[in-house]
Amino acid sequence: MHAVATLLVLAFSPAVLPAPRPVPQAAAESPSALEVAVAAFEAGEWQRVLEVAAATPADPTEAARLAYLAGETQLILGRSEDAALSFRAVLAQRPAAVPAKVGLARALTNVGALDEAEELLTAVLAAEPEDVGGKTAMGLLLARRERFDEARAQLAAASKLAPTNAICARAYVEVLLRAEDDPAAAAVAEAFSKAAPEHPMGYFLLAVVMEREGDDEPAIEQYQRALAVDPNFLDAHKNLAILCHTLSNTYQDKQRTRMAYEHYERYFALGGTDAQLRATYESLLAYKDQILGS
């Protein structure tokens, strides 16, 4: 299961966007752009999703669904301004699409447009008080405003409603760590791992908590377990690259140094956009052969 596969439940809920029109039998053998994009999303082929979505089809239903999928992909890649545009394109066609409103709020939160994001989420939760995506996004927004008690309440409620929701679990752990409540973050990571024992997000969250506690070797093992399930888990590659680089900052540990290079390379190959990480990676790249002795 891909780390973000649960997004598809929101993306293609019939209550949000109408179902695609029936395809004539003669054309059934050729997958639609939407089907290609969904398959790419489920496989973590982020660049492919964006390529397919860029060729907007004439069918407005399919165009809206592709725009939503593009927005979720852009959030994963850290391209929040682009994601906001994609979600606005969905809402231009489907003003009542709750997942697109939530996605837009998440993108706006990331770029610091907190007032607009809070207005959106307040309206969503007034209409749908138990919407897990809305509560999760509101928790992240409140944490951004450093209203941690309120953020925790929203995320605790969302987690109770959907204990196997990977996005909610990740947000909850990240907010608890920002609030410097490491024991609570560890408890949430453990609870999610038990609720969804084979989900890559469980391994990832355990790794994040272990790394925070200074348990670097167990953290590396958990990141690797996450990648064994989902080889395209973007932030697992990112965190592993940084951790392995930190542990081998004198470049004497060839194994760790090699791992750092491998995960930097994979992160950027998948479309990662962290500018600071790019600068670090490029500063190392010129010395790769010298450092590794290859």
Q: What is the CATH number of the domain that holds 173?
A: 1.25.40.10
- pTM (global) more than 0.75: yes
**What is the model's pLDDT at position 248?**
79
**Co-location of 8 and 98 in the same domain:** yes
Is 238 found in the same domain as 198?
Answer: no
Clarify whether residues 82 and 168 are in a common domain.
no
**Per-residue confidence in pLDDT tens, the chain, 294 aa:** 344 433 333 333 323 333 334 444 444 568 889 999 999 999 999 999 999 999 877 788 889 999 999 999 999 999 999 999 999 999 999 999 999 999 999 999 999 999 999 999 999 999 999 999 999 999 999 999 999 999 999 999 999 999 999 999 999 999 999 999 999 999 999 999 999 999 999 999 999 999 999 999 999 999 999 999 999 999 999 999 999 989 876 666 788 888 999 999 999 999 999 999 999 888 887 777 776 665
Q: Map 177-209 to HEC letters.
A: HHCCCHHHHHHHHHHHHHHCCCCHHHHHHHHHH
Assess whether 138 and 214 both reside in one domain: yes
How many domains in the chain?
A: 3
Same domain, 277 and 203: no
The answer as to whether 85 is a domain residue is yes
What is the extent of the structural domain holding 141?
A: 130-228
Task: Tell me the CA end-to-end span of the chain in Å, nearest whole number.
Answer: 36
Cβ(203)–Cβ(229) below 8 Å: yes
CB 117 within 8 A of CB 108: yes
For residue 256, is it within any domain? Answer: yes
Three-class DSSP category at 275: helix
